[in-house]
Amino acid sequence: MSTFIWVLIAIAVIVVVVVALAARNRATAKRDQNRYREASDLRDEARVNERNIRRHQAEADEAEARAREVRAEADRKDAESRKLEAEADERRSTLTEHVQQRDENLRRADELDPNTDVEPER
C-alpha cells in the first residue's frame, strides 16, 4: 500500500471520528434541550399547582374559621338553653310552692268556714 492510500485512510478515519463526535455533540445538545424543556414544563406545572395549593389552603382556612364560628354559636346557644332551663326549673319550683300555699290556704279556709262540711284535721 502506498503512502497515498494510508493518507486517504487516515483522512477517512479522521472524517469518521469528526462526524461521530459532531453527531454525539448534536445528540447531547438535543438531549439537553429536551431536558431543559421538560424541566421548564415541570416548573410551569409546579407554579399551577402552587396556585391551586394556595387556593385550597385558603378554602380550608375559610372552612375551619366558619366551623369555629358555628361551634362558638352552638356553645352560646347551649349556654342560653341551659340558662333558660334553669329559669324554667326555678319558676316551676316557685309555682309548686304557690300551688301548695294556695291549696293549704283553701284547706285552712274550708276548716274555718262554718258553712263548709269539712272536718278539721287533727
Q: Does 36 reside within a domain?
A: yes
* Res. 116 pLDDT band, cuts 50 70 90: confident
Q: Does 1 reside within a domain?
A: yes
- Count of the separate structural domains present in the chain: 1
Q: Does 49 reside within a domain?
A: yes
pTM of the model: 0.48
CA 101/CA 74 separation, integer angstroms: 40
The pLDDT value given to residue 21: 94
Q: Does 94 reside within a domain?
A: no
Q: Does 54 reside within a domain?
A: yes
Contact of 113 with 120, CB cutoff 8 Å = no
The pLDDT of residue 122 is above 60: no
Q: Does 15 reside within a domain?
A: yes
Q: Does 22 reside within a domain?
A: yes
Q: Domain limits at 30?
A: 1-80
State the average pLDDT for the chain: 92
Q: Does 117 reside within a domain?
A: no
